Amino acid sequence: MAQAKNGDTVKVHYTGKLEDGTVFDSSLERDPLEFTVGGGMVIPGFEEAIVGMKEGESKEVTIPSGEAYGDYNEEMRIEIQKAQIPEDIQPEVGQMLQLRGEDGGATTVTVTHITDDTVTLDANHPLAGKDLMFDLKLVEIAQA
């Protein structure tokens, strides 16, 4: 039976969990995730876990933060004056906002702390710095 390799398009069902067992994402209630192995469309550790699997095979893997969304970077947190936020936006902890750079590009940030005068924004991916556990099932391989 064929094994998944770089260049193959695969369909994978997965459930992603944090170390405490909290599920952060799952494909079980929707179509399986389809991607090309080696195409860089999913986190590196996820791709590596699929290589060598056979159709119908299941396994559990732990992907360290460095092979997932990277380490948490304190420099990607900024504190701004509340007055810098447009009046039509009422910031709340956990809220996702878009910041526009001088080049017109957008960066997604999460509001992490609010005081009377300041708002702390975090541009790290919400899963940065976390080791991720995945239950994987390789549903289909389309050979390259």
Backbone angles phi, psi at 35, to 5 degrees: -155, 165
DSSP-derived 3-state class of residue 90 = coil
Average pLDDT over residues 1-17: 94
What does pLDDT average to over the chain? 93
Pair (84, 110) in one structural domain: yes
Helix then strand then coil, in percent of the chain rounded to 5, is 10, 40, 45
Residues of the chain with pLDDT > 70: what percent?
Answer: 99
Work out the average pLDDT over 107-113: 93
Residue 116 and residue 50 share a domain:
no
Question: Is the torsion defined by CA of 129, 133, 139, 144 positive or negative?
Answer: positive
The whole domain housing 87 covers 74-122
Q: Are residues 14 and 65 in the same domain?
A: yes
Whether 8 and 66 map to the same domain: the answer is yes
Per the CB < 8 A criterion, the answer to whether 60 and 134 are in contact is: yes
pLDDT digits (tens, 9 = 90+) for 60-70: 999 999 999 99
* Cα R_g (the chain), whole angstroms: 19
pLDDT of 13 above 70: yes
Domain shared by 78 and 66, yes or no: no
> Do residues 135 and 3 lie in contact, with contact meaning Cβ atoms separated by under 8 Å?
no
Q: Do both 9 and 50 map to the same domain?
A: yes
What CATH number is attached to the domain comprising 58?
3.10.50.40
Q: Render pLDDT for 21-44 as a digit per residue (tens, 0 to 9).
A: 999 999 999 999 999 999 999 999
What pLDDT was estimated at residue 125?
A: 92
- Where are the alpha helices (H) located in the chain, listed in sequence order? 44-50
**Taking the alpha carbons of 128, 131, 137, 140 in that order, is the dihedral positive or negative?**
positive
Identify the CATH number of the domain in which residue 117 sits.
Answer: 2.40.10.330
pTM here?
0.80
